[in-house]
Amino acid sequence: MDEKTVINDEDAYYRNSRTRAPFRPQKSGKGSTNWQLKQFAEATLGSGSLRKAVKLPEGEDEGEWLAVNVVDFYNQINLLYGSITEFCSPQSCPEMKATDEFEYLWQDSDQYKKPTKMAAPEYIEHLMTWVQSNIDNEAMFPSRIGVAFPRTFRPLILQIFKRLYRVYAHIYCHHYPVIINLGLEPHLNTSFKHYVLFVEEHGLAQGSRDFWGPLGDLVESMLRSD
């Protein structure tokens, strides 16, 4: 393996003033399909069965299940990273890395046409803004009953999950002592294990050689232990 694996993407970047706040869906009220699916997820998570929690409920639409869960993981990661932002600064984390072996560069079709080095906080802000903008996009995440998800939905979901993983990887590799000191270790580990099992259950890591990279050993351990 090379001394450093540099990874970049070609994704659009959107400015969104709500980047720092947890995403709260405005379109899905109590009694809606999304609300019911989220209740199912919370109930199964509460039972302690993560394997059960990630499975598509019988008779439900896979697109709806992926959409509900990607919002949930976005919220979880936003909260986890938000709890350690004072320890993740351009000075302490001048590169978006997960160990010295993996560095992530940002590229988009507008402002950053070439892969661009960024400090971790800046990269994560771009990432979370991009996820938020896609969730808010009715064309990609339709909320009306009977409106089908577009054919481009699954490729987008694959990209979102791949990018969200990088925040987990950065936290584990560069801020884990802080997580322990704040008493957040159980929350991080449960959230990440839920994420790993969901990705494996729905084949969301297919075709991505670098997907588990820096946390490969931890992922294997989690899969074996469940």
Q: What is the pLDDT of residue 30?
A: 47
- Mean per-residue pLDDT of the chain: 80
Q: What is the pLDDT of residue 1?
A: 39
Lowest mean pLDDT, pick from 77-81, 165-169, 190-194, 207-211: 207-211
Helix (H) or strand (E) holding 103: strand 102-105
Residue 93: name the closest of 63, 58, 117 by CA: 117
| Tokens found for residue 203 | 């084949």
| Tokens found for residue 145 | 């009953």
How many angstroms separate the CA atoms of 164 and 98, rounded? 13
User: Strand pairing partners for 97?
Assistant: 103
Q: What is the pLDDT of residue 223?
A: 84
Strands 102-105 and 5-8 turn out to be: parallel
CATH topology (fold) of 5-225: Butyryl-CoA Dehydrogenase, subunit A; domain 3 (1.20.140)
User: Strand pairing partners for 103?
Assistant: 6, 97
Q: What is the pLDDT of residue 113?
A: 81
Residue 188: C-alpha distances to residues 55, 81, 94, 180 (Å)? 21, 10, 23, 10
Average pLDDT of span 168-187: 93
How many angstroms separate the CA atoms of 152 and 116, rounded? 26
| Tokens found for residue 221 | 């351990």
CB 126 within 8 A of CB 13: yes
Q: What is the pLDDT of residue 204?
A: 93
Q: What is the pLDDT of residues 13-68, one digit of tens each?
A: 222 222 334 433 333 344 444 455 555 555 555 556 788 889 999 888 899 999 99
Q: Is the predicted pLDDT of residue 176 greater than 70, yes or no?
A: yes
- With b for 16 or more beta-carbon neighbours within 10 A and e for fewer, the 13-34 pattern comes to bbebeebeeebebeebeeeebb
- Whole-structure pTM over 0.85, yes or no? no
Q: Detail the residues annotated as belonging to a binding site for Zn(2+).
A: 88, 93, 170, 175
Considering only residues 138 and 18, tell me which one the structure prediction assigns the higher pLDDT: 138
Q: What is the pLDDT of residues 183-194, one digit of tens each?
A: 999 889 989 999
User: Strand pairing partners for 102?
Assistant: 5, 98
Q: What angle do CA 218, 188, 1 make, to 5 degrees?
A: 30
Q: What is the pLDDT of residue 205?
A: 87
CB 72 within 8 A of CB 19: no
Query: Helix, strand, or coil here: 111?
Result: coil
Given pLDDT bands bounded at 50, 70 and 90, which one contains residue 178?
very high
